[in-house]
Structure 1
Amino acid sequence: METLQRSEKIIAEKYRIIGKLGEGGVGITYAAVDLNSNRKVALKALSLRLTTEWKKVELFEREAKTLSGLNHPGIPRYIDYFQVDTSQDRCFYIAQQLAPGKSLAQLIENGWKPNEAQVRHIACQLLEILVYLQSLLPATIHRDIKPQNIILQKNGRVFLVDFGAVQNTYHHTVTGGSTVVGTYGYMAPEQFRGKAVLSTDLYGLGTTLLFLLTQKFPSDLPRQKQKIKFRDRVSISPEFADWLDQIIEPAIEDRFHSAKDALSALRGEQPSGINSEKMFKRSPQSRITLIDAKRWLFINIYPDRFPSKLKGFFQFIHLTCKLLLPLYLILAFFSLYLFLMHIFGESDRTFSLFEYTVADWLAKLFQLFVFISVKAVIIFIVFYALMYLCWISGCLFTRQIQISLQDIQRVKLSKIHLPLLKKSMTFCRIRAKSRNYCFGLFLPQAEKEWLVGELNNCLSKLK
């Protein structure tokens, strides 16, 4: 991509270009000065005239939208997004806080050789950033963790930059996008198939750390069955080597599931290795808990957030429904008893079964049928109506869904039209081999999206 702007040029009457910082797959980044505040900023530019793929424009806009919602000291602060039109071109710009320092790639190129302690410190800071990104709703995946996108200050502070390849789990799983985004050598194997899960960024982090330790590109290191072999090329502790071995596992199921797990293992808070049971909970206020126990998945949905008045009303309906069926059986037996007493009582103890004609018996049986049927119809209409209400309000009660991951075929959001509410709502649907599971109708939309994304992440481990 050719240089778009020259030094000292004024952009949008607000930013003055100082020089070029770098160039990536989506846009060129310049150092600039904000003329209003006199502060240095990073100005990323994308020319519509020089762009041959509309996908780059989409990625650029997505990067701006993602950055506007991020708030972490390890991510340069978002400032502005705008476009400038000329007679020959349209340029898009993202203005961010300028991260002071040099990229890890520049430092290595200049001869820097970090030791294990320094590499561990960098790894911990980056994992803390990834923990933050993965805690968002939906979780955000950077997809391009590499030395060029990590800025290190002189005081040891780390910044993660260039979110041009960013993706969120919901967008990825629902749209089923298959665009391959990333940098060869630092890309996890699943990225070559157009997939990205939470542990995808961990692979990029692991290969970046290997670059710091070996001073070689990951693609130049020997491999065995896609696994990078590095132990004979580094001088680090066995514990750190084991941790690195797991974070760069080619198979998703053998890698750390999340940045939180990897950070805990690095700090010695838990041993390396995939736990037989993992619990994922979005936040203390979440109504959803997912438990991945080996090959089984448990989904717990709690009723904490539902309005208390409606919750009490539906709990009353729930108890009433439990009583309706036995009451109906009692009523049916009582009706039969009255019918027999009526027949035997008419003859004043001299009743004979043969005194009634066939027509009389048919009339009595018809009366019994009408008597019981009318009550049964009323009871069952009420019963099924209440059961329907309880079904659509299933999130009122603590509910656990147990399902084998092997049986799950598809997870998605579906819509249902509610005539009484005069609107459509979405709910989570799991299609399994034996049955469908539908739940989460009254969950907030963000939680539904997070849940679908997390469930698809669980499935991706088996594919």
Structure 2
Amino acid sequence: MENILANRYEVQQQLGKKAGRQTLLAKDLKTEELVIIKLLSFTSDFQWDDLKLFEREAETLKSLSHPHIPGYLDYFEINSPEFKGFALIQTYISAKTLEQYLQIGRKFTEIEVKQIAKSVLNILIYLHSLHPPVIHRDLKPSNILLGDRTGNNVGEIYLIDFGSVQTVLATEGTGTRTIVGTYGYMPQEQFGGRTVPASDLYSLGATLIYLVTGSHPADLPEKDFRIQFEEVTNLSQNFTNWLRLMTEPSLGNRLRSANEAIIALDKPQLPIKTNTKLTSKKPNDSKIKLTKNRYLLEIIIPPSKLQAPRIRLSIATIFLIYIISFVWNATLLTVNGQTFFWIFLTGILFLMSLYIFNLFKSIILRIDQDKISIHYDFFGYDIYFYPPAYRDDICLLQRIRTYVHKSSKKSSSLEIKAQIIIWAGTDKNFIIGNNNDLVSEPELDWLAQELSEWLNLPIRTE
């Protein structure tokens, strides 16, 4: 390996090395400043995915501008007898990694760990708020730098190594996803090639657990995929709860954003979400059809039975239309009696069509690998009232039981019917059971449990 690259960068020392990659400390002979050089070499075990990730890191750093993220300086190809590959030049930050501090025996107090947590979360808020969001995917102690202590502050925090970074656009238009990350710091969804901003939160939580225990998360006991760190630490209950929420295996139970996490960190009390166990047995008299396999879950709610309240409502509505049309004809119109007849007939036909639709429509909720949708099936015709949503956006499974909400006025109250709400983001929800869909409480319990197990989401009951 030559000592001066591109006739400009004089190599000082090697900082790290792994298969096909090197990290070097060098001096920029033009500016007289130290820089970091990351090299990707065309060795015998070279794979095109390595080059794709390396180029993505360069493009990402080039687009970022944050005081606690290394700055992009240059990117070029090297083709010499000694080395063939690519070089990425970035600014040098004079600081040790958290991993290095732990290896030399440094202990971190709870206050210091909280300061580190807030600093990293502020960096993640910047990254995740970009368009498209930038997900680091390999947040761990060796990728976080800590500067020298200043007063009561633990020191400046920097996030480095964007070699595993993912953006939303990076996964669009491809049939496969590259699985990257470090065992012990990767959440469950990342093993399946799926990452969301909350995946970085899990990695940060696992990193902080390493700081307070001195042990890698993979070396700690595990129960139901949860890291069991509580017995080997002496933390406040609030911070313990917060770390649990950061490292929840299920996305639905985990804190969802860096903003939410930084607000929750200062709360005196934190609710621990629990997965309420409901019956998983289908009621004997249920006509609902449930189909599920590894790739698909589909719920078909058949047409509702004819109900006496609906018959009374229909008769009352027909009578109301008759009165309105009669008054309209008598006071506003001066044409012959045929006008009254056609207005009355049109109202009846419209009402009958709505009533027939309600009698013969089936409700179909469908979730596959990519999206969730709910629509009506009417004699083979699919009618969508709400657009589908991405399955990755599903974040909450809510089971609401029938209850009466009373307002401040004693004479006013509102009955809330039993239902299941599947939240996909903050502005989309898909509902099973409501004022019009006759689904029993046992059926809703059964469907909620099936959805919870298939989506790997907890059930929030209200």
Instruction: Tell me if both proteins adopt one fold, taking TM over 0.5 as the criterion.
Output: yes
In the alignment, which residue of structure 2 is the partner of 1:14?
A: 8
Separation of aligned partners in 2, 1:68 and 1:91: 19
How is 1:134-145 mapped onto 2 (pairs within 5 angstroms)?
134-145=128-139
Listed as ranges, the gaps of 5+ residues in structure 1 are 276-333, 338-403, 413-429, 440-450
Separation of aligned partners in 2, 1:269 and 1:26: 48
- Pairwise CA distance, 1:452: 6.6
How high is the TM-score relative to the length of structure 1?
A: 0.60
- Pairwise CA distance, 1:95: 0.9
In the alignment, which residue of structure 2 is the partner of 1:239?
A: 238
Cα 1:85/1:240, change in 2 over 3 Å:
same
- Asked whether the 8 Å contact 2:116–2:157 carries over to 1, the reply is yes
In the alignment, which residue of structure 1 is the partner of 2:193?
A: 194
2:40 alignment partner AA: L
1:157 alignment partner AA: E
- Asked whether the 8 Å contact 2:136–2:200 carries over to 1, the reply is yes
Q: Equivalent of 1:147, from 141, 149, 153?
A: 141
Superimposed CA distance per residue, residues 49-78 of structure 1 (whole angstroms, 9 cap, x where no aligned partner): 355211000000011011111111111111
- Pairwise CA distance, 1:114: 0.8
In the alignment, which residue of structure 2 is the partner of 1:133?
A: 127
Length, aligned pairs only: 311
In the alignment, which residue of structure 2 is the partner of 1:387?
A: none
In the alignment, which residue of structure 2 is the partner of 1:227?
A: 226
In the alignment, which residue of structure 2 is the partner of 1:82?
A: 76
1:214 alignment partner AA: T
How is 1:62-211 mapped onto 2 (pairs within 5 angstroms)?
62-87=56-81, 89-155=83-149, 156-172=155-171, 175=174, 177-211=176-210
- Pairwise CA distance, 1:459: 5.6
Q: Equivalent of 2:32, from 32, 38, 46?
A: 38
- Asked whether the 8 Å contact 1:409–1:431 carries over to 2, the reply is no
Superimposed CA distance per residue, residues 308-344 of structure 1 (whole angstroms, 9 cap, x where no aligned partner): xxxxxxxxxxxxxxxxxxxxxxxxxx9x99xxxxxxx
Cα 1:22/1:267, change in 2 over 3 Å:
farther
Cα 1:135/1:229, change in 2 over 3 Å:
same
1:198 alignment partner AA: P
In the alignment, which residue of structure 1 is the partner of 2:283?
A: none
- Asked whether the 8 Å contact 2:125–2:259 carries over to 1, the reply is yes
In the alignment, which residue of structure 1 is the partner of 2:262?
A: 263
- Asked whether the 8 Å contact 2:368–2:391 carries over to 1, the reply is no
Separation of aligned partners in 2, 1:196 and 1:245: 19
Cα 1:110/1:454, change in 2 over 3 Å:
same
- Which SS does the other structure have where 1:137 is aligned? coil
Separation of aligned partners in 1, 2:268 and 2:66: 24
Cα 1:237/1:456, change in 2 over 3 Å:
closer
- Pairwise CA distance, 1:23: 3.3
- Which SS does the other structure have where 2:181 is aligned? coil
- Report percent identity of matched pairs: 37
Cα 1:102/1:12, change in 2 over 3 Å:
same
Superimposed CA distance per residue, residues 167-226 of structure 1 (whole angstroms, 9 cap, x where no aligned partner): 013433653533221001111111111111111011110111111111111111001111
Cα 1:128/1:176, change in 2 over 3 Å:
farther
- Asked whether the 8 Å contact 2:370–2:392 carries over to 1, the reply is no
- Pairwise CA distance, 1:100: 1.1
Q: Which has the higher helix share?
A: 1
CA RMSD of aligned residues (A): 3.5
Q: Runs in 1 of length 4+ with deviation above 6 angstroms?
A: 451-454
Cα 1:273/1:33, change in 2 over 3 Å:
farther
Cα 1:274/1:226, change in 2 over 3 Å:
closer
In the alignment, which residue of structure 2 is the partner of 1:47?
A: 41
- Pairwise CA distance, 1:102: 0.5
- Asked whether the 8 Å contact 2:20–2:42 carries over to 1, the reply is no
Larger radius of gyration: 1
- Asked whether the 8 Å contact 1:170–1:452 carries over to 2, the reply is no
